[in-house]
A and B are shown apart, each in its own frame.
Chain A
């Protein structure tokens, strides 16, 4: 009985299964496609349209008409290029700092603790633990730690490591510190995943072939874990470049630390300059897209992504 049913279903028409499979696939993809169209494509198109709008003839603030004013972009760059540059410099420094801190941590978790799974799981939980507390609260807490009348600053003042007129809150260092801190788990987790799968026998083979620990790291461990480094740096660099919380004067930033995200926020919400805010957003997206493609191409791992 079962065989007969199987035979009937499977063999008679060879053409139809593929066709209906295609339809089934399309049907299953529909929710995803609809989601993308509704929540990604539509806002993107709206954003691009807004970025080209012209001010209303009435001159009223916050009222714009449809247009095709490419100067919106050049004006935005001319006015805000220091913020754009600052965003990418901050993002670069914070990403490198996160990588330097995360790699040894992930190596310890994924390689050294392999024989102690309980400790490994516990420490891995600690890496993720900050996510259990609100991002804003944690960032604000750092401001308290480094506040002008806080213990840290007072200690630095009393030891003379920091001039009496100097403070930490609101400096470049404070913002980069916050960015690094907030995005470290996004670096650690992909690194951990690749290091956890690293075949230690390859390191033994390298040792056996006259390579010392440093050479083995440079020639074997590093190239093999490159996919983790790529995904980790992308996962930190992209959100950091667009971040507006850490650099905000309400949190860790000061008057001279505003990033692109802060400009977009104030243009949208304070000065109601929607075209400039949109143009800056599109620019940020474009620059990141170019940087990431060049980066992935350069590191020669496009087949690993």
Chain B
């Protein structure tokens, strides 16, 4: 009898997952819930445990502790071939002894789905490779192989599709195209996607929810805009985009805001944008939300000011200019200014003050030096 052809995504829950290998712990403690039909990205540097997580979900590895539930069903100890999950591997892992069409039909044949060839052809058409059905994988380019790997996984209509950095090997232009295509396919077929990547732009661009992973733990999870606007830890602030971070003791606080003393400068952050309200805390701001001035700005409780400093580097990146400003006794601050038709008005060595609005500041739960010393 033909196995039921699942047409919708299922939700995934990881409960208290821990995975130890001889000599190190890849995942310390992981709790995660991905609602059905969501595009979820696990973002982190290499070695953070994100690929191990993926392998646990795929069934290619077993957790030391914890439970994995797909669509409410406990699959922790079921084999990879018993799970309603398919993976697009980083290496694509296409079978070299089969044609493209047979590669795509492989999963359908295993599950004895009716008319596997017709369905495989449809899937190839979806990724615009119908004309290459009878080629061998080694005759295809990297981008084409990637799309075959995607079709081979998608054609099975898995409850959950796992993507293990599938775009890593592609050049920038192709990667952008594939990102758009992948997102469109996900919307069209309505499957749950779990995407593992170290590319923060890719994660923010495609995912509904991003979880930033570091050293076997999830540091922060949420919608991309929220993560970017209000990172909770120094790691997230630095890994997801760039940040200017300032650490100091809290010297003043009222019902709405708290202020720290940062080497003689008073910096303020709204209370609801700060994770920690006392002691030694870190306040940060994104470089594009900071501006610089040729003269000291007038005192304003809504604006944080530091300086004066000296511009030591200017980088032209097309859309914007990136200024690196060295402030004596304080360190370097980065400011992005969009190129809105005017050429930069300052040159290297100019003396400037940096300012940013209090409402754009964010307060972290840890301090960057702590995070560094842990490493």
- Since A201-B93, A202-B96, A207-B81 are in contact, a sample of 13 more A-B pairs with Cβ atoms closer than 8 Å, ordered by chain A residue number, is A199-B91, A199-B93, A202-B95, A206-B95, A207-B79, A208-B59, A208-B153, A209-B86, A209-B107, A209-B110, A210-B107, A215-B110, A220-B95
Closest B residue to A199 using CB positions? B93
Which B1-25 residues have C-beta < 8 A from chain A?
none
> Is A204's CB within 8 Å of the partner chain B?
yes
Q: List 7 A-B contacts (CB under 8 A).
A: A204-B60, A204-B89, A205-B95, A208-B60, A208-B86, A209-B106, A211-B110
Q: How many residues of B are in contact with the other chain, CB < 8 A?
A: 23
> Is B156's CB within 8 Å of the partner chain A?
yes
Q: List the interface of chain A (C-beta within 8 A of B).
A: 199, 201-202, 204-212, 215, 219-220, 223-224
Q: Give the distance to chain B from A195, nearest Cβ to Cβ, in Å.
A: 15
Question: Which 6 A-B residue pairs are closest in the complex by CB-CB distance?
Answer: A205-B93, A209-B107, A210-B110, A207-B80, A201-B93, A223-B97
Of A204, A209, A224, the residue contacting B97 (CB under 8 A) is A224
Of B60, B93, B94, B111, the residue contacting A210 (CB under 8 A) is B111
How far is B91's CA from A224's CA once the two chains are assembled, in angstroms? 17
Closest B residue to A220 using CB positions? B95
Q: Give the distance to chain B from A198, nearest Cβ to Cβ, in Å.
A: 11
Contact of A208 with B58 at beta-carbon distance under 8 Å, contacts A199-B93, A202-B95, A224-B96 already known? yes
How far is B107's CA from A82's CA once the two chains are assembled, in angstroms? 50
How far is B79's CA from A197's CA once the two chains are assembled, in angstroms? 25
- A209 B156 Cβ-Cβ under 8 A: yes
**Could you say which residues of chain A place their CB within 8 Å of the CB of B58?**
208
- B106 A207 Cβ-Cβ under 8 A: no
**Could you say which residues of chain B place their CB within 8 Å of the CB of A199?**
91, 93
Which B66-92 residues have C-beta < 8 A from chain A?
79-81, 85-87, 89, 91
Q: Give the distance to chain A from B356, nearest Cβ to Cβ, in Å.
A: 48
Q: Give the distance to chain A from B294, nearest Cβ to Cβ, in Å.
A: 54
- B152 A207 Cβ-Cβ under 8 A: no
- A211 B93 Cβ-Cβ under 8 A: no
Of A205, A211, A215, A220, the residue contacting B87 (CB under 8 A) is A205
How far is B107's CA from A205's CA once the two chains are assembled, in angstroms? 10
**Could you say which residues of chain A place their CB within 8 Å of the CB of B152?**
209
How far is B106's CA from A207's CA once the two chains are assembled, in angstroms? 11
How far is B89's CA from A288's CA once the two chains are assembled, in angstroms? 45
- A201 B89 Cβ-Cβ under 8 A: yes
Which B101-156 residues have C-beta < 8 A from chain A?
106-107, 110-111, 152-153, 156
Contact of A201 with B91 at beta-carbon distance under 8 Å, contacts A208-B60, A208-B86, A209-B156 already known? yes
- B93 A202 Cβ-Cβ under 8 A: yes
How far is B91's CA from A84's CA once the two chains are assembled, in angstroms? 51
Q: Give the distance to chain A from B315, nearest Cβ to Cβ, in Å.
A: 38
Closest B residue to A205 using CB positions? B93
Residue in A204, A207, A210, A220 with the greatest tally of chain B CB atoms within 10 Å: A210
Closest B residue to A207 using CB positions? B80
Q: Give the distance to chain B from A28, nearest Cβ to Cβ, in Å.
A: 32
**Could you say which residues of chain B place their CB within 8 Å of the CB of A219?**
106
**Could you say which residues of chain A place their CB within 8 Å of the CB of B96?**
202, 224
**Could you say which residues of chain B place their CB within 8 Å of the CB of A207?**
59-60, 79-81
**Could you say which residues of chain A place their CB within 8 Å of the CB of B94?**
205
Q: Give the distance to chain B from A85, nearest Cβ to Cβ, in Å.
A: 35
Closest A residue to B105 using CB positions? A209
**Could you say which residues of chain B place their CB within 8 Å of the CB of A210?**
81, 107, 110-111, 156
Of B85, B91, B97, B111, the residue contacting A208 (CB under 8 A) is B85
How far is B94's CA from A205's CA once the two chains are assembled, in angstroms? 8
Of A204, A211, A223, the residue contacting B106 (CB under 8 A) is A211
How far is B319's CA from A193's CA once the two chains are assembled, in angstroms? 54
**Could you say which residues of chain A place their CB within 8 Å of the CB of B81?**
207-212
Q: Give the distance to chain B from A20, nearest Cβ to Cβ, in Å.
A: 36
- A204 B80 Cβ-Cβ under 8 A: yes
How far is B95's CA from A205's CA once the two chains are assembled, in angstroms? 9
Q: Give the distance to chain B from A191, nearest Cβ to Cβ, in Å.
A: 17
